[in-house]
Amino acid sequence: MKKTRIVVLISGSGSNLQALIDACAAPDYPAVIAAVISNRPGVFGLTRAQNHGITTAVLDHRQFSGREEFDAELQRSIDAHHPDLVVLAGFMRILTAGFVTHYLGRMLNIHPSLLPLYPGLHTHRRAIEAGDKTHGVTVHFVTPELDGGPAVIQAVVPLQAGDTEETLAKRVLVEEHKIYPRAVRWFAEGRLVLKHGRAYYQGEPLPPGGVRCN
């Protein structure tokens, strides 16, 4: 079996990266992490990768004159590893349309909300402040619209009385670590594709929230 090569982009702690590293450790998992690239030096996600002998690179966005220049170098750095799939795992950068288009249909992101609710930052706080009963997480294909690409899979997390941003984020992360390896597996097995702007799972177009896994 030829494994799907993935490049993971991070900016921080990399707990989703860890979930993918752990998944890839199973012999029958159909993907392998070719490299991990961070736009921030010294983050723990880099250590996690190095602990597992995975190639890492740092491209510090502050060293570039603008978004176009950074994204052009990032694309070169990614493509040097010939990935089949690019996985954004807590990568805190807005990407240019040209970059996103280059990876259209082969780039996934995980976002801690039930998209289309709460694109952007501070999703947990916004769900609590809105008095929502449920929150959650979405894996989606990346398109030029921020957090706006077709959803692949969602997990729901009920809010609890007294939830803070931290307690809620912690429970959402538990679900993130389950659904991201699952979405990557589907992609690697050829069961998940982006076609004419829609996500398809096993040949069927997915509903707006993608597959609801709980």
Q: Which residues contact 141 (CB under 8 A, 6 or more apart)?
A: 104, 105, 107, 108, 109, 149, 150, 152, 194, 199
Catalytic residues, which ones? 111
SS3 for 166? helix
The first and second tokens of residue 63, run together, are 């060293």
Q: What does each C-alpha distance from 43 to 12, 34, 91, 99, 180 come to in angstroms?
A: 5, 19, 12, 24, 20
User: Is 168 or 188 the residue whose CB approaches ligand GRF more closely?
Assistant: 168
Contact with ligand GRF (CB under 6 A): which of 12, 105, 144, 148? Answer: 12
The 192-195 sheet, strands edge to edge: 192-195, 198-201, 204-205
Count the neighbouring beta carbons within 10 Å of the beta carbon of residue 30. Answer: 18
Between 15-24 and 165-188, two packed helices, what is the crossing angle to 10 degrees?
30
Mark residues 149-188: x for contact with ligand GRF by CB under 6 A, - for none: ---------------------------x------------
Binding of ligand GRF at residue 136 (CB under 6 A)? no
Binding of ligand GRF at residue 13 (CB under 6 A)? yes
Distance in Å, CB of 5 to ligand GRF, minimum: 20
Q: How many residues bind ligand GRF (CB under 6 A)?
A: 12
Distance in Å, CB of 96 to ligand GRF, minimum: 18
User: Is 4 or 113 the residue whose CB approaches ligand GRF more closely?
Assistant: 113
| 31 closest CA partner among 178, 197, 155, 185 | 185
The first and second tokens of residue 203, run together, are 């040949």
Contact with ligand GRF (CB under 6 A): which of 30, 83, 90, 150? Answer: 90
Contact with ligand GRF (CB under 6 A): which of 9, 23, 110, 179? Answer: 110
Distance in Å, CB of 124 to ligand GRF, minimum: 9
Distance in Å, CB of 19 to ligand GRF, minimum: 8
Interface with ligand GRF by CB under 6 A: which residues?
Answer: 12-16, 45, 89-90, 110-112, 176
